[in-house]
Amino acid sequence: MAASFNDALSSILGWVSIACWIVVYSPQIYENYSLQSGEGLSLIFVYVWLLGDITNMTGAILAGLLPTVIILGVYYTLCDLILLFQVYYYRWKARKNSVTEGETTPLLNTVNNHQNKDEPLSSTQKTVIRYVGALLFVVIIGVLAWWISSNIEIPEKPPKHRSSSLTWAVQILGWTSAICYLGSRIPQIIKNFGTRCEGLAPALFFFSILGNATYSLSICVKSMEREYLITNASWLAGSALTIFLDLVVLSQFSYFRYMAIKRVQAVLPLESSS
């Protein structure tokens, strides 16, 4: 009974994680489109993340994982390429416009275009409501996907025997992917000190944290046996440590937003007195 409950809970968490990863890129893609700029992103961040997705997808193929997992790996890779395309396209477009108009315009505004300076509290409340709604959405989608999958009978295939060399190859790819996911955050964190996180969508890192947390929990809930944890160690390490770095990015968002509000509050009395 306990085992079946753990399996069901692990499956639900896994589907919630997949739902998070499906939507994780969309906030940043939309942010780039809205600003007509991709300068909030570190190119090294995207390139290293792309390498992590490619190695992760290759490991899934060699390990003979479910087709859905492989399809998701392809989807992640395509999303990385879309982000890279946006950055280079909007840079080309900005250069073209500067030549046409005879002047250059800043790629990023000092104040976020989507934030009303006069209503910081209202903006914060809307953000909280939006994120709570997004959280409920991915949880509902994850549970619904689990329910559908649990009611579809799929014939079980006998596990394929892996050679020791293939096992090592999968492990190496898994650890390479984990290192890439971790390393990708460092250049983005450094870039944020210069851009003050402008042009960067916090939802990207919010969904990344939620996706990694539910993925790690899905592994641990399924089994805490030593051999099982060692087999999944690279994915666990990559997910758990990436959460920490994503929290650093979100803390940067909070800090720079707080400082922006303080600057606005300091300027408003001066404007009203004049």
pLDDT band at 188 (very low <50, low <70, confident <90, very high): very high
Using the predicted structure, report yes or no on whether residue 180 has a pLDDT greater than 60.
Answer: yes
Between 57 and 111, the higher pLDDT residue: 57
Between 11 and 45, the higher pLDDT residue: 45
pLDDT at position 85: 97
CA atoms of 14 and 25, how far apart (whole Å): 18
Least reliable range by pLDDT among 14-18, 186-190, 266-270 = 266-270
CA atoms of 45 and 50, how far apart (whole Å): 9
Ramachandran region of residue 225, left (φ > 0), alpha (ψ -120 to 50) or beta?
Answer: beta
Least reliable range by pLDDT among 62-71, 86-95, 103-112, 126-135 = 103-112
Using the predicted structure, report yes or no on whether residue 2 has a pLDDT greater than 80.
Answer: no
pLDDT at position 269: 67
Give the list of residues 6+ apart from residue 76 with CB closer than 8 angstroms, or none.
Answer: 21, 25, 53, 56, 57
pLDDT at position 84: 96
Q: Is-above-0.85 flag for pTM?
A: no
Between 64 and 11, the higher pLDDT residue: 11
pLDDT at position 154: 54
Q: Which span out of 3-12, 70-79, 143-152 was modeled with the highest average pLDDT?
A: 70-79
pLDDT at position 29: 94
Ramachandran region of residue 182, left (φ > 0), alpha (ψ -120 to 50) or beta?
Answer: alpha
- Residues above pLDDT 70, as percent of the chain: 81
